[in-house]
A and B are shown apart, each in its own frame.
Chain A
Amino acid sequence: MAERITHSICVGGAIAIHSENGVIRRIRPIIFRDDDPKGWVIKARGREFTPNRKTQPAFIALTEKNRTYSYDRIRYPMIREDFVETHDGQNRNTENRGKSGYRRASWDEALDLVAREIKRLHAAYGKETITACTSSHHSWGLVGYKLSTFARFFRMMGYTELKDNPDSWEGFTWGAPHTYGYYWRLGGTEAFDLLEDALQNVETMIMWSHDPDTTRGGYAGNESVLWRQWLCELGVQFIYIDPLNNFSSVKQAAKWFGPRPGTDAALCEGIAHVWLTEGLYDKEYIAKHAHRFDEWAAYILGNGVDRIEKTPLWAERETGIPAADIRALARRWGTTKTMGGSGLRGGFGGVCRTANGTEFARLMVQLFAMQGMGKPGQNVWVATTGAPMDYNFWFGGYSDPLSQIANQPVADVTAVNPVTQKLYRPNVPDAILDGHYEWYGEGFCGGGLDLEFTEHIYPEPGYNKVHCFWRYGGTFMGSMLDTNKWIKMYQSPELEFVINQDIHFHGEARFADVILPACTNLERYDIGEMCNSGNGGYQSHSQTGNSWQIVVFQDKAIEPLWDSMSDYWIFSQVAERLGWGDKFTEGRTELDWCRRLWEKSDLCEKVSWEDFRNKGYYVAGVPEDWERHFGFRWFAEEYPCDTPNHKPFQEEGLLGTFTGKFEFVSESMLYYAPNDEVRTPIATYKPSWEGHHSIKARQYPFHLITPHPRFDYHTQHNSSTPWFWEIPENRVYINGNPYLVARIHPVKAKEKGIKDGDIIELFNERGNVLCVARVTYRVEINTIHAYGSSGIYNPVEPGKFKSMDIGGCVNVLTPGRLIGEYVPGMAPNSTLLDVRKWEGPLPESQYFEWKLDKVNFAAEPDTASCSEIIEGDGFNKLQSQESRKYKKERANV
């Protein structure tokens, strides 16, 4: 049979998939045809800039084939070997979760068990007794996404919703809105058309806690790499500020500053001091647009409550950056056209996940305000979004309610959750184990500043506690806090029943009673737009992080492997058994839903369903003279706001703060929480509760910084793709285990007797993790850098609380404490620890593979083992088996 080409999107970008005889042969970028539209052309400084005629997926997307045939695929429904289906939910050997192996079950057995348990739990405790939690983007597409199929199922059934914390934004969500509004963007700003502005005007880029080649504009893959190359060619000076001389910095930085972790707010204050004393700021702009600026200026100049002048020398003592360098930085920023910001799209970055993250975010915004934010070449913009796009073409993103199958108009009936009780993700273990938990805020508080201060109590009065946890996709062992707590939670008899529905056998799946194997995006139908998280959502128009706006029919490349099935199928089967299958599906297949989404968007006016399906993608061209809506320009130049997705008050020239101005003394903080010790009315640098001023630093002298990973996307790819383990900056594969790289400064390494490549133990009172040492001048001297979101959690004693981990799951070391009493954000980059050379024997291999091998071999004696797939010919074997099966089936047809 000839090769067949289908298309898909993952968090690493849009891809073309070649398959042959029922197996996937290769993954490529989508190369545009001559009849696809022309790319935009930006004219700037005597040059013309236009993108390459292809999608530019990141390397993670180019390995989707491996994720499909990976060694850790969950192939069959499985039930924990020592699970006992007791009538009252007690005595189920819950203490063995994480330790015990599994047995294969048929779909009927697994689904019947799930349905029986749901009925029992509902009868005993009510609908609120089941909670469920999604991953962060383990798949893509408007049908299968967590806000579609998952949401439809659970809202229809009723459940205790588990609120996500704004884990990638924290300091910006909880801080920046009190300075300049934009709560509806979770503290980030608007980047519309700023690529053109930058190419024409900018001279300096401040890349604060920002590694664009690593975080890749969210889900935009390598789409914006070329833009930064252009800026470099134009002589724009990139200044990177990050405790790690990060992967973009070592390539592009004109200058790198490595502040001591958690002291970035002090650097902000030092810069402000230079500007105030030397008059290097836009006084007219500030006079017009800033609220209570003078009180803040007085604080910086030493006339505030603490009577400390925030001089560059004062900032040097906190940050470790020489005062002379701080002056030079302040002058460059204050005298040239400067854009910049923090992390990913400008309001992110590891720095906002520290104890002082809210104050950094507020101060950073204040600095940009002081330079006339919104004027040409002066803005919060970090070279990852803001490409030209046709704002008049709409195809929904995942957070658009209008494009979720949970809601009308895509569905005939909107699914509504009747249960009001909530849980909060960072503290689920505390809530389950203690039976009581209170917190402030709605998780993502995009609806208004007041939402940060709503009070929640678990269990909500009148409700029962949660006794069943349904985990869906991904694992939080590597991305939440103090994750040994999760082990305690899973082993508690409070959780009578644990379901895990996932594609891969990641850390949390191994704690479940019943495991439901879902298939990958490449084995089912879906539809989606690359990097569109929703034009009405918190990151509206994030697809301007692409060079091209492209909607993809995510065709089924191959049939689901082994017994795996699509998430939609799994949920509809359970709904069927609960008696509301028809209500859930409305009689639609996944393909029907895809068509429905085509029909409900502008796509149906551009291309017929058949043509779209056959070609596989649609590129929305940008008109030659496209509409410009420069982000924040309306504010600086005082015309009615015209940017997409704006609020009515913006048309009157107001920001989303109480006064509508940049609040240097926050009126909203004075109103809602005047006693908040973390977010004071004036944003100030405050030493971390776990930092170099803590008593704990005497015992654990190093800071851990553990940012979003370069060699993964959250927890999704690293675990399943052994090719990544051969990247020396990522992992080192020793003795059957991929050890994570942890970076240490040469001076400290020498003190500790650690050489490059040594196995080292990262430890504190919360746990210990073995890593491989990378001795490098790229880290700040007091810092250990090890990427977060390890998809691999490989405890040497599985299921044991505080077992040593060799999978690189450094989140076991991070504090469970949230940023503050009123700030329920996480601060994994405020972790103290120590390191030592590992002198013990090298642990053996991975400690979970046997569980999969046992089930897989029982089902198929001639299949490949995990280790054969990783390093032997297991992959070839699986593909030829699948191919034979496919040919046989076709012969029978």
Chain B
Amino acid sequence: MRYGIAVDTAKCMACYCCQMACKDEHCGHDTALSKSQPMMGQFWIEVREWERSDNSRLTKTATVATLCAHCADPACAKAAKNGAVYRRDDGIVIIDPEKSEGQRAIADACPIGAVYYNEVLDIPQKCTMCAELLDDPNYLAYLGDPKKFKKPRCVEACPNNAMLFGDLDDPESDISKYVATHKQTQLEPLAGQDTSVKYINVPTVYLAGTVYLPKELEEVAIGAKVSLKADSGEAWEVTTNYFGDWIVDDLPKNKQVDITVEFEGYKPVKYTAKTDADHYVDMTYLQKA
């Protein structure tokens, strides 16, 4: 049995239900596994967002609901003294609220900033995967079969099935099947780590643009060929859509990319771009060949 949570960034609409449900569960209430989360300042699950844009023409946002990854080999446990951080048999990593007192190193050790330090209580705190609810046989007793619906509060609150919960050790569980069939994208600071929280579809960077016929014609170029070639040798080819738009997403980061725009009867146009960040390359106005 290994409890896990899959977070599919592509489905996340940034609705904040997970973050609010977590606060609703943990702010103002102590449990055997954790002390109360302070009213403000801590986010045991945090909706982290960034804008993917350098131009008005195209903006997407990436939203990664970030919580303790429940690592198989947690950095925080290594930093802890007298066994203040332990990993349960079900894979959930818990910080003991008594033993961890004064151990700021536990919070500092987390590579993704998911462990917070409570200055008032002088303890490190984080997500428990709602283990106290999963353990409690009386919880949910009023709403049908308690086992069937038992989920951490964040997963339960998600309206778009962007979060899944279940047993990663069971290959037939929904979560295992989902993880097996979708693109896993471990958070960069956790590269190489085996974690019980699986991040899916976290984007890297895109290059994009729009191709037009000469400006006075007031027409987009549909079906123009856009070829991209990275200095590492990889290549991509796309054609422009009904808006003359082209986009290549999830590119490898920090490559130099040569771009050629071709459309029959017009002069090819060349660009170079770097995949250091998302770039809208240009509104390309073609010229007659």
Contact = CB atoms under 8 A, between A and B. Distances in A.
B244 interface: yes
Interface in A754-777: 776-777
A324 B212 contact: yes
Nearest to B63: A251
A870 interface: yes
B50 to A, nearest CB: 10
Interface residues of B, number: 63
A26 B25 contact: yes
A123 interface: no
Contacts of B145: 34
Contacts of A723: 19-20, 23, 27, 39-40
A213 B15 contact: yes
Given A62-B20, A726-B40, A777-B54, A875 B49 contact: no
Interface in B193-239: 212-213, 215, 217-220, 222
B243 A332 contact: yes
B160 A324 contact: no
A722 B220 contact: no
B15 A16 contact: no
A705 B55 CA distance: 20
B13 A213 contact: yes
A641 B55 CA distance: 48
A777 B144 contact: no
The interface residues of chain A, by DSSP majority, are classed as mixed
Contact of A222 (B47, B141, B159): B159
B43 A726 contact: yes
A858 interface: no
A62 B22 CA distance: 10
Contact of A62 (B17, B222, B245): B17
Size band of the interface chain A makes with B: 35 or more
Highest count of chain A CB atoms <10 Å: which of B13, B21, B120: B13
B77 to A, nearest CB: 28
A778 B59 contact: yes
Contacts of A27: 24
A247 B51 CA distance: 11
Given A28-B153, A324-B220, A226 B24 contact: no
Interface in A61-102: 62-63, 65
B86 interface: no
Contacts of B245: 255
Contact of A875 (B28, B51, B61, B153): B28
Contact of A777 (B41, B53, B156): B53
Contact of A781 (B56, B61, B219): B56
A29 B29 contact: no
Interface in B120-164: 120, 138-145, 149, 153, 156-157, 159-161
Interface string A48-68: 000010101111001101000
Nearest to A721: B20
Contacts of B58: 256
A888 interface: no
B143 A876 contact: no
Contacts of B13: 213, 225, 247-248, 251
A577 B156 CA distance: 49
Nearest to A62: B20
B57 to A, nearest CB: 8
A225 B241 CA distance: 26
Contacts of A607: none
Contacts of B28: 873, 875-876, 879
B143 to A, nearest CB: 5
Interface string A25-45: 111111111100000000000
Given A745-B56, A778-B59, A872 B220 contact: no
A599 B136 CA distance: 39
A498 B119 CA distance: 46
A872 B27 CA distance: 11
Given A251-B61, A331-B242, A781-B56, A222 B40 contact: no
Contacts of A57: 17
A258 B120 CA distance: 47
B138 A2 contact: yes
Contacts of B144: 31-34
Given A56-B159, A722-B39, 8 more contacts: A59-B16, A222-B159, A250-B61, A324-B220, A726-B41, A776-B53, A776-B59, A875-B28
Interface of B: 11, 13-17, 19-21, 23-25, 27-29, 36, 38-41, 43, 47, 49, 51, 53-56, 58-61, 63, 120, 138-145, 149, 153, 156-157, 159-161, 212-213, 215, 217-220, 222, 241-245, 283
6 contacts: A225-B13, A226-B159, A229-B11, A245-B59, A324-B219, A777-B54
